[in-house]
Structure 1
Amino acid sequence: LESYLATNKNNLDVLTLIDYSLQISKALAYLEGVKVVHRAMREQEKLRDLTEQRALSKSLSEHSEER
């Protein structure tokens, strides 16, 4: 997924990215429900991801203002 997103970052619309995020969230919720914690959900990963999400949110906001 990471490779696909990097390769196609200029070809994906916001709705597609939101759909991907929703699918990932549902998968993680399922894993939490069956008491499986993926290594990406460790505390240090959450902090890094939060920083990246803020940067992405700012970027998307700036992109939508340009239109």
Structure 2
Amino acid sequence: MTSKQVMTVAVLAAVLMWSTVMTVLGHLEAVAALLPSLGLLVQQITSALSGAGTAHGATSAADPAAGPPGLEGPSR
């Protein structure tokens, strides 16, 4: 594992430990409010550890003028 991967796993462990402590202390509302963010964190860390280079739908660096699909005309 590279140092970046070790740091990523350490951050994930810290966030999950914090969530566990909040649950044990009875702050279920706080944990429930953060579940979407925690899910995204786990998804991003999994993606980083698996070595995925780009996300789906990302524009390439070779075409900087390409915008998101569905947008026509010049941007303001």
**Which one scores higher on RCO, CA 8 angstroms, separation ≥ 6?**
2
Band of TM-score, shorter chain: 0.3 to 0.5
Q: Which has the higher helix share?
A: 1
Instruction: Decide which structure has the larger Cα Rg and report it.
Output: 2
Per the normalisation by structure 1, the TM-score is 0.48
Per the normalisation by structure 2, the TM-score is 0.44
